[in-house]
Amino acid sequence: MGWFADALGPFRGFAVTLRQMTRPRVTTSYPKEKREKPQRFHGRHILNRYPDGMEKCIGCELCAGVCPARCIYVRGADNPPDNPVSPGERYGFVYEINMLRCIFCAMCVEACPTEAITMTHLFEMSTTSRDDAIYTKGELLVEPDGTPNHPQEPNRLIDVNELELGSGWMRATAPGGRAAFEGVVGWTPSATHSELPAELGQSGDSAELADEAGGSS
């Protein structure tokens, strides 16, 4: 029977394949099926505005200074006295992010003092040109009504609606993990989302914390 075993040798590997064919799938049919992303998913950046249309970026360059990948370039300029761009003395005159170097760590979001830069749920940004992977201020800054911008590329995978998800919820420490901030709005309003709701779940069960607060009052 040795010759029979030797003849079956090349086909023994198919036993693993046949066993796996009868088991439930663990993958999805991407891009038709996409998994639901967590609330603090680190996707493509956007530059936010205040509800009145003023830009939140003040050109302080803190995001560029903290970036470990050195993928952000910012150059600030003085606000025109007769037509200011931002509420501060300066604004972001030039703002560029090289997505080929970005590691999506969100440290720029952490460093921003005005919550100007946040990260969305959009991650499908493939392109055939390196220059197209460098996003400029015109592509990053939302419209005065809060509508995000994105280069119109012939990529059927891109869902631009994902640019409206996430907004300012990206901070990993928000709001510091302290129960004292439970139910407190920790975000400034933006043109995209107006006023965001207070974040819950800082310590234990939110419902239990609410009951304790009600019982102590």
CA dihedral (72, 42, 173, 137) positive or negative: positive
Determine the Cα angle at 186 with ends 200 and 167, to 5°: 90
Residue 91 lies in a domain: yes
Residue whose C-alpha is closest to residue 49's, from 110, 98, 139, 114:
114
Residue 198 lies in a domain: no
CATH code for the domain in which residue 51 is found: 3.30.70.3270
Residue 21 lies in a domain: no
Residue 64 lies in a domain: yes
Domain extent, residue 145, equals 38-175
Distance CA 75, CA 111 (A): 16
Residue 70 lies in a domain: yes
Residue that is written with structure tokens 């940004």 in the block: 125
Residue 52 lies in a domain: yes
Distance CA 198, CA 181 (A): 9
pLDDT (tens digit, 9 = 90+) per residue, 70-94? Answer: 999 999 999 998 999 999 899 999 9
Alpha helices, H only, the chain:
2-8, 14-21, 62-66, 107-111, 137-140, 206-216
Question: Structurally, how many domains does the chain consist of?
Answer: 1
Q: How far is CA 192 from CA 87, 109, 129, 152, in A?
A: 18, 16, 30, 20
Residue 93 lies in a domain: yes
Query: What does pLDDT average to over the chain?
Result: 79
Residue 15 lies in a domain: no
Low-confidence spans in the chain with pLDDT less than 70: 1-11, 152-157, 166-179, 181, 196-197, 199-217
pLDDT (tens digit, 9 = 90+) per residue, 159-182? Answer: 778 887 766 554 544 545 566 767
pLDDT > 90 in the chain, percent: 35
